[in-house]
């Protein structure tokens, strides 16, 4: 259980760091199917990329001490879930995005409950 949870956190953290770095370096051009954008949208994309990079680093930091950082992990995974909810709102209001982003939305909505349950199980086993 612990190894599965730690693996999910590390893989997810590395992915977030790499995605954040790609967006900081390339801007919206890193988005599959994107169109050229104005300076405001480019700035916004790179700003949020830095936040996502920080999210990834925080996940990696939390994975190193799951027992002591359970609350932080829950907070971060809730933020990740909220991102999936934001994609649902966008899909309802604007329409479905590229297939890659539809898959990411599924991950953002399905993975947090799995992590939450794994974390609860790990904590329960370690407190016995």
What is the reported pLDDT for 127?
83
pLDDT for 65-97, tens place per residue?
A: 999 999 999 999 999 999 999 999 999 999 999
Coil, strand, or helix at residue 86? helix
| Tokens (6 digits) for 79 | 């933020």
What is the reported pLDDT for 56?
98
In the chain, which stretches have pLDDT less than 50?
none
73 CB neighbour count, 10 Å cutoff: 21
pTM: 0.93
DSSP symbols for 6-60:
HHHHHHHHHHHHHHHHHHHHHGGGGSTT-----HHHHHHHHHHHHHHHHHHHHHH
Residue 33 φ/ψ region, left for φ over 0, alpha for ψ in the -120 to 50 degree band, beta for the rest: left
């Amino acid at each position: 259980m612990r190894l599965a949870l730690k693996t999910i956190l590390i893989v997810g953290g590395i992915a977030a760091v790499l995605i954040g770095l790609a967006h900081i370096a390339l801007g919206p051009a890193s988005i599959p199917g994107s169109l050229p954008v104005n300076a405001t949208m480019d700035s916004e994309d790179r700003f949020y990329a830095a936040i996502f990079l920080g999210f990834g680093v925080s996940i990696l930091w939390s994975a190193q001490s799951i027992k002591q950082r359970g609350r932080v992990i829950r907070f971060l995974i809730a933020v990740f879930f909220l991102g999936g909810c934001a994609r649902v709102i966008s899909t309802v209001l604007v329409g479905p995005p590229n297939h890659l982003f539809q898959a990411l939305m599924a991950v953002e909505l399905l993975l947090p409950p799995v992590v939450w349950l794994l974390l609860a199980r790990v904590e329960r086993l370690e407190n016995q």
